[in-house]
Amino acid sequence: MLAKRIIPCLDIKDGRTVKGINFVGLRDAGDPVELAKKYSQTGADELVFLDITATHEKRDTLRELVRQIARHLDIPFTVGGGVRSVEDVAMLLEAGADKIAINSAAFRNPQLINDLAKRFGSQCIVLAIDAKQEAGEWIVYLSGGRTRTEKTLFEWAKEAQDLGAGEILFTSMNHDGTKQGFANDALRQLSEQLQIPIIASGGAGTMPHFKDAFEQGQVDAALAASIFHFGEINIPDLKAYLHQQQIPIRL
């Protein structure tokens, strides 16, 4: 069985790492370069960098900051935020990204997923989906949770897989920043319906939450931000715990 992955996430606004609850109330969480160095040195399996206001502000991802962070990493590095074209992806890969997360632009132009997969390979393309549970349905939102669509999480994820996405990064807007655990029922549905890896995001607060995501949600990776940034959980301790719980993990 493939080892499960632990992924810290740097949500970036104005060049700083930030974290909120349910996508609002952002507070400063530190210097992204220093955090990236720490995670690379303390056992993170990958690192995700999301420029969370790039799409809303209609600007490109912070290329120079990506370059600075990439210099300090020896783990896979996924970058997203404001990615709209093949040219954007080529620029970020050149700056040091290993994978690219796409979200709003892919929803508005699904052919972009196919174009990117053909040019760079599916393994390079992570489709990020932000969704909110409303009256029993998981509804997709765009532009950092600002814009509601009429499409459900499951139909959009399946469509993206068929177009060539290599992974799905699903963030539950209901769970984001609440530290009450991941959206395991929805994650399990995704895992059962798709053939590509699923990354859980939104809701991590304790070590057992990660165990639940891997066992109940059946995900391939679990992503978290504030609990790592503010030292509430250390990655080596988390991995030791998961290993004790018989979760396949790289120590």
Query: What CA–CA distance (Å, rounded) separates 222 from 147?
Result: 25
Q: Of residues 130, 176, 212, 220, which has the active-site annotation? A: 130
Round to whole Å and give the CA distance between 210 and 237: 12
Is 237 annotated in the active site? no
Instruction: Give the three-class secondary structure for 134.
Output: strand
Tokens of 85: 């074209």
Backbone angles phi, psi at 58, to 5 degrees: 55, 50
Q: Which of 125, 169, 129, 183 is nearest to 152 (CA)?
A: 129
The Cα 192–Cα 212 span in angstroms is 16
- Which member of 11, 51, 88, 220 is catalytic? 11
Complete DSSP assignment for 100-132: EEE-HHHHH-THHHHHHHHHH-GGGEEEEEEEE
Catalytic site includes residue 212:
no
Torsion of CA 186, 192, 198, 200, to 10 degrees: 30
Question: Which residues form the catalytic set?
Answer: 11, 130
